[in-house]
Amino acid sequence: GRYGPNLVRFPSGMKAIGDHLHNKSLKFGIYTSAGTKTCQGLPGSLDHEELDAQTFADWGVDYLKYDNCYSQNIPGIDRYTKMRNALNATGRKIFYSLCQWGAEDSWQWAPQVGNSWRTTGDISPYWPSIRSNFWQSQQHARRGQPGAWLDPDMLEVGDGNLTEIENQSHFSLWCLIKAPLLLGMDLNSLTKETLGIISNAKLIAINQDPNSPQATCYHGCSVKEDWSILATTLSNGDTVAIIINWSNDDLSLQSFSGQSVGVVPNPLDYIVVHDLWKDEQVGAFDFEMLKNIPLPTLKPHGSLVFQMTAYNRNDPFIVSSAIV
């Protein structure tokens, strides 16, 4: 049969919900499973893909999260491909989020099937879980691409068990590795501090830059390391780097080299370094100075995110800023 609304919760029906969301410039997301039931025991979409996909399209759905429960031992590549074909046949653009838990060697086929694909099991709002999911996902970093993003699971920012420092680091990492930015928190408990983190416009722009690849690891590239450096380039040529302290102790590195993440200014350039959390300029550095960008001590689980922009030393910005 066809999916229908819970008329107690949604007395106006699902299309009315979609219309209401769209009128507020929001997107309409929905959840089901590539099995006979969802993980909550509700009806799934296995063997009903065409009907369910058309129902979602008729309701105005923009995003489908497709889980992996009650699969009847049918290979994931078959189940998930069938729903992809059904969604495409509706003619409506629906973002297809595969939630196959990183199982069945899905990194080999999921990028060709979904718009995002889970690389891990479920996340939880504790630092060890954030760290574990990040590194599990990083194993497949080279397979992420525009339109087939790696998904280390939703954000746990603001869920209550993470410190503000951990929330900042978590959000920064997910932005730089181009993970889907889906809030897992109860918005009724949204605090001013959490809102400030999840609305960092510069980090969100990095995440959404269509021509910017997933960040590459340059130092500390395994779960066993105490600290790491990752960086990505943006469409405008800027480089963005994150330095993160995974450990439970303070980290005193003293300085950071821009050259270590591929930033090599020509003799007439200065590199202006901007701290994306403080939203302030760290300084302008020529080739030699760039080898020793000063760093503060990083608290446990803390991080820094620097955006590095090249300017000619005669650029009006450099001159007016009295940098040289």
Residue 183 DSSP label = B
Active site residue 209: no
Write out the H or E segment, with its range, that includes residue 138: helix 127-138
Q: Is 157 helix (H, G, I), strand (E, B) or coil?
A: coil
**Helix/strand/coil for 107:** helix
Q: Give yes or no for a contact between 189 and 161, defined as CB atoms under 8 angstroms apart.
A: no
The answer to whether the CB of 143 falls within 8 A of the CB of 177 is no
Q: Which residue has the tokens 């690389």?
A: 119
Choose, from 67, 151, 159, 269, the residue flagged as catalytic.
67
Instruction: Specify the amino acid at residue 118.
Output: R
User: Token digits for 186?
Assistant: 């109860």
Q: Which residues of 252-283 are buried (b: 16+ CB within 10 A; e: fewer)?
A: eeeebebeebebebeeebbbbbbebbeeeebe
- Give which of 256, 249, 228, 241 is closest to 299, Cα–Cα: 249
Joined together, the tokens standing for residue 318 give 């450099």
Closest CA to 123 of 136, 110, 111: 136
Tell me how far the alpha carbon of residue 301 is from its chain's centroid: 18
Question: Choosing from 105, 122, 249, 250, which is the catalytic residue?
Answer: 122
122 is catalytic: yes
**Directed axis angle between helix 49-59 and helix 14-23, to 10°?**
50
Which positions are catalytic?
67, 122
